[in-house]
Amino acid sequence: MNSFEPKLQADWSHLDEANNPAMVDVSAKAFSLRTATALAEMWLPPEVASRLIEGEIQAPKGPVFHTAIIAGTMAAKQTSNLIPFCHPLPLEGIHISIQARNGGLLEIKAEAKVTYKTGVEMEALTAATVAALTVYDMCKVFSHAMEIRNVRLVEKQGGKSDYQTNA
């Protein structure tokens, strides 16, 4: 089977027996601690990077990194309203950090935590993505050439299986 051939319906978690979209039933699952970490990278052109990486984190719309962290946190709490089959989760923790790297890169890391019956990966991914979008929105006055890259899950723990990448 190549990557373009459709999978059998049994492989898709969000289809019911009649092949209709459905939220996964987690009622029989036990509560357990679930954590997830997601990363988003942003490339900043020199006219943006020089302002953010060299210390000026205040854009015309306000403090860039702090606003992005708040936006990412708010987004994590709204994930089930954005992604149709995500379960609403009682998040117990969300931590977002933004680090400047060489070459005009920002690394936005979102860590989410919950004790529940299903994982928290989508919340971490949403937080990292919305934080990156917020940086873009706040800095587009300087340049539209920014790029949001490599949004990905780097770790999850709890549930059926753990996952970790070297990224």
pLDDT at 69: 96
Write out the H or E segment, with its range, that includes residue 125. Answer: helix 121-139
Residues annotated as catalytic are 137
The Cα–Cα gap between 146 and 83 comes to 25
pLDDT at 8: 46
Considering the entire predicted model, what is its pTM?
0.86
- Which domains does the chain carry? 31-158 (3.30.70.640)
pLDDT at 7: 45
